[in-house]
Amino acid sequence: MKAILTRLFNHEELTSEETKQILLNITKEMYPEAQIAALLTAFQMRSITVDELIGFREALMETRLPIDFAPYRPIDIVGTGGDGKNTFNISTCACFVVAGAGYKVAKHGNYGATSVSGASNVIEQHGVRFTNNPDTLKRSMEECNIAYLHAQLFNPAMKFVGPVRKTLGVRTLFNLLGPLVNPCCPAYQLLGVADLSQMRLYTNVFYKLGIDFAVVNSLDCYDEISLTDEFKVMTRDYERIYRPQALGFKDARPEELFGGACKEDAARIFDNILTGHATPAQTQCVIVNAAFAIQVMEPQKEIEECIAIARESLDSGRALATLKKFIEINKEIELQKQTVSLEQLREQAEIIIRENAAHRRSMKQALAASSTGIISEFKRRSPSKGWINEAARAEEIPASYEAAGAAALSILTDEKFFGGTLRDIRTVRPLVHIPILRKDFIIDEYQLLQACIVGADAVLLIAACLSPEQCSTLTTQAHELGLEVLLEIHSPSELSYINKEADMVGVNNRNLGSFVTDVENSFRIARQLREATHGAVSPLLVSESGISDPETICRLRAAGFRGFLIGETFMKTGHPGETLKEFIRDSLSIDN
């Protein structure tokens, strides 16, 4: 190492073979940390060459744990880091927008080295457990279009320089290497760099590696498109400088992109963007980065069209649905399977089905026969409103709903976004006789088995979270367990999900992106369903969200709806059961 350092101090260049061997030696712990720090500092004193960088990369790729995503041809969106701006997790958020738009994303990331929150920090804040299990990662890619590759699980060589990088606290050549060592070797890449010299460097590297790419740089030294200044984009096809206004965006101020003082702040900003509660500057910054990523994969599209695609992913709620599904796959379900296997759960469900065969409750029949059709919802919070009734007790409120005249119950079991658990259904089941709907982001047979075991009678399947094939498979599996299915759709584009297998179809009046409710959505969807199927498919219709007065129920019933899911209207009051009783009394008086 001394000889290498001497050459570097004399401004000599190294070959790719030499830099490859240096890094391999570092992984064998042949050099003390002081010499590694000197090496990194030396490369900060002059620009690294293309061959030197490729040599370091070859060493990391040689020692990596590979993952084969070749059939998916994914993109990675990443910045070099180290720009000192402490922005929120722009590229990570853009990944979910791109995945929500239907493109495959293989996000490679790590903990923040020179900022409050790196990609791994913000993902971990959502309770995700990092894995290098190929089956889990491929399932994540197939079912929600995105897989997260935590660098430390795939690039063991990185751990040998981690302490030195943290101590130095400045950008090093490993900031340059990070974007080049995605273990799946993605087909496409959007890379943000902090200055124009890096832009030239990476462009030449990508040409040699044969990757389709876009390298972006904000001219005020952000390693992403910040919209705080003009920005430059280089691809295989063009090199261009853009002004934010030319693309329909307003200039952003640096403080508007601040990532917060702690990891929790960063995660909050991340969630705000996907739930429609971010500032315009934060939102448009994510959209523009996602748009240029889309254009890398579809270079025939004009950037304006790519912006529209990215914006629709965010505004429609597809990006948020992708995040929720990603969390389910990579957090709760996989962890639960390690405690109780799928086979064990199947055995428990078989026992429950045998014991309760004579006591099944049909939610569809209950709604059809009810004079009110009201599905009263038990939930403590929502993504749009936060805590609605944090102290709500499952031992009290659902039973008061039944006593007041509810036809069925909806119980939220998602903890992060709605403050519920499966224990709530288990608690309520012996206290009521009306059907219970398990409302959650259901994507796996495992969750259906759980619903069966705790005593649910029906489950919610959300079209926005599933493909038509997945929806059909889960419906069949639910029926085999004696569970009915409420298929939830949000827009006309999801009408194709509806078939004779669904017991009930719910129209959610809440926009998943903006969280604005519009009951007229139920009327539009019902009309379009009749026109699309010519009456051949006539499931029991349920209107969900935004129903706050009896007059609306009367209108919906006249339009063909027989179920009316209402939650916040009741839960936000001090006595939800009494509020429901008054609501039903007013509804019946209007009918009469």
Which residues are known catalytic residues? 377, 379, 439, 488, 508, 544-545
- Helix, strand or coil for residue 236? coil
- Helix, strand or coil for residue 46? coil
Distance between CA atoms of 66 and 155, rounded to whole angstroms?
9
Contact status, residue 110 vs residue 178, Cβ threshold 8 Å: yes
> What are residue 58's phi and psi, to 5 degrees?
-60, -40
Residues 6+ apart with CB under 8 A from 195: 217, 221
Distance between CA atoms of 396 and 50, rounded to whole angstroms?
67
Contact status, residue 503 vs residue 486, Cβ threshold 8 Å: yes
Distance between CA atoms of 349 and 357, rounded to whole angstroms?
12
Contact status, residue 209 vs residue 234, Cβ threshold 8 Å: no
Torsion of CA 272, 275, 278, 281, to 10 degrees: 120
Residue 509 token pair: 């009046």
Residues 6+ apart with CB under 8 A from 93: 270, 273, 274, 286
Residue 543 φ/ψ region, left for φ over 0, alpha for ψ in the -120 to 50 degree band, beta for the rest: beta
